[in-house]
Structure 1
Amino acid sequence: MALRTGRSAGQTAPADVYEPAARAFRSLSWAHREILTETYFRRRTVNEAAASLGLPVEVVKARVYHALKALREACEAYG
């Protein structure tokens, strides 16, 4: 699904469209950025992320939950 930026699916949006989200992501703690990078950007499952990071699955689940909550709050502040 293309982002609704008023452009065709093949065109990219200007950087200022993504800047608030990037700023919000950068404002997160290192642990939150790490867990979101593993699970969302690298598309790893919770089990894969746990193995990659050497953490118990329950810790990964909790970090993902808290990281998403923190990202949501940061997006509201920056967006």
Structure 2
Amino acid sequence: MALRTGKSAGQMAPAPMHEPAARAFRSLSWAHREILTETYFRRRSVNEAAASLGLPVEVVKARVYHALRALREACEAPG
């Protein structure tokens, strides 16, 4: 069962992160954490994130791609 946010009845809150994933997320650069926060945790589209951050859409797309790669690598890293 998913939790609902207070913003609207149709939006679902993402599941809480487990500690290894949270640790990997915290190891990312500020720009990668920011872009994933906008697109995943706040559930904004690329266009919405671009408007919110004052960035071109293509920059947001590239940052999401690189942030997800960095997160995957951080999750796979030993330790």
> So what's the TM-score if we normalise by structure 2?
0.76
Which structure carries more helix by proportion? 1
User: Match of 1:62, as an amino acid?
Assistant: A
* Long gaps (5+) in structure 2: 3-16
Q: Where in structure 2 are the equivalents of 1:45-60 lying within 5 Å?
A: 45-60=45-60
User: Deviations for 1:2-51, whole angstroms, at most 9, x for unmatched residues?
Assistant: 8xxxxxxxxxxxxxx81110000000000000000000000000000000
| Pair 1:78–1:25, CA change in 2 (3 A) | farther
Q: Over aligned residue pairs, what C-alpha RMSD do you find?
A: 1.9
Unaligned runs of 5+ residues in structure 1 are 3-16
Q: Flag the structure with more relative contact order, 1 or 2, with Cα contacts below 8 A and sequence separation at least 6.
A: 1
Q: Which protein shows a greater Rg?
A: 1
Paired residues, number: 65
Matches for 1:14-29 after TM superposition, within 5 Å: 18-29=18-29
Tell me the TM-score normalized by structure 1.
0.76
Q: After the TM superposition, which segments of 4 or more aligned residues of structure 1 sit over 3 Å from their partners?
A: none
